[in-house]
Amino acid sequence: MLKYTIGFLVGIVASLVLGWQFAGSLMFYEHESPYGLEETAARIQSNIKTLSHNGWALSGLRSPHKAVEAAGGTVLPVLLVEACSIKYSKPLLKDDNTRILSILMPCTIAVYKKDDGKIYIGLMNAGLVGYLFGSKVGSIMQGVADDQKIFIKFDDKKPAPPLIRTTPGGGKSGTEDTGGC
């Protein structure tokens, strides 16, 4: 009996250690971009606009590195492309039990430069995160996850679209991006 108890406890500890080590890589995706920072963000924005039939609309563009620089710090550039879809947000916002998930809105896609000089795209694993909250939220967030794949699928044959510099909260195109975190 002691042998089984020890084996069970070792299994639990091993599971916790593995979960701790790999949780970050399961919760977030990172993809290298073949384009520069602004072009990558602009292509993502353009792809989001093509999914307006799924309720997607751009809700902002943030440059958190500018806030750090304004405070005297130096960091590599980061752009946060923000979008929201009423198709996916409406059922979550209607229900008292899921309204707290508005903290995940808008959908944010990070475009950033690393020390290796390359540009990367960071996305939350919306499908996995959704299923952590049950099957109803899981099925809604799976739709978000499917659309996110389209957000970062680039057509090399298309010329680079212009970057849409909207401020979060529905600012007009061309409004100065002052950063923010």
How many structural domains is the chain composed of? Answer: 1
Assign residue 170 a region (left: φ > 0; alpha: ψ between -120 and 50; beta: otherwise): left
Q: Does residue 179 fall inside a structural domain?
A: no
Chain-centroid distance of CA 59 in Å reads 13
- Enclosing H/E stretch for 111: strand 107-113
Does some domain include residue 181? no
Does residue 171 lie in a domain region?
Answer: no
What local confidence, expressed as pLDDT, does residue 26 receive?
80
Report how far apart, in Å, the C-alpha atoms of 4 and of each of 8, 9, 13, 16, 18 are.
Answer: 6, 9, 14, 18, 21
Would 99 be classed as within a structural domain? yes
Question: Looking at residue 41, what is its pLDDT?
Answer: 98
pLDDT of residue 23: 52
Which structural domain, as residue segments, surrounds residue 42? 27-151
What is the pLDDT, as a whole number, of residue 166?
Answer: 76
In a domain, 131, yes or no: yes
Q: How many residues does the chain have?
A: 181
Q: What is the largest CA-CA distance in the chain?
A: 70
Residue 114 CA neighbour count, 13 Å, CB half: 11
> Which long-range contacts (C-beta less than 8 Å, at least 24 apart) are formed by 123-130?
123/28, 123/29, 123/30, 123/31, 123/148, 123/151, 123/152, 124/27, 124/28, 124/29, 125/26, 125/27, 125/28, 125/29, 128/26, 128/27, 129/27, 129/104
Is residue 81 a part of any domain in this protein?
yes
pLDDT of residue 80: 97
| Residue 48: CATH number of its domain | 3.30.310.70
pLDDT computed for residue 159 by the predictor = 94
Q: Tokens at residue 94, please? A: 């209607």
Q: What was the pLDDT predicted at 19?
A: 52
The pLDDT averaged over each successive group of 10 residues in the chain (181 residues) is 65 57 72 98 97 93 94 96 95 93 91 98 93 91 96 94 78 46 40
- Output the six-digit token pair for 13: 């500890």
In a domain, 12, yes or no: no
pLDDT at 75: 96
- pLDDT score at 104: 86
User: Left if phi > 0, otherwise alpha if psi is -120 to 50, otherwise beta: which for 180?
Assistant: left
- Whether residue 16 lies inside any domain: the answer is no
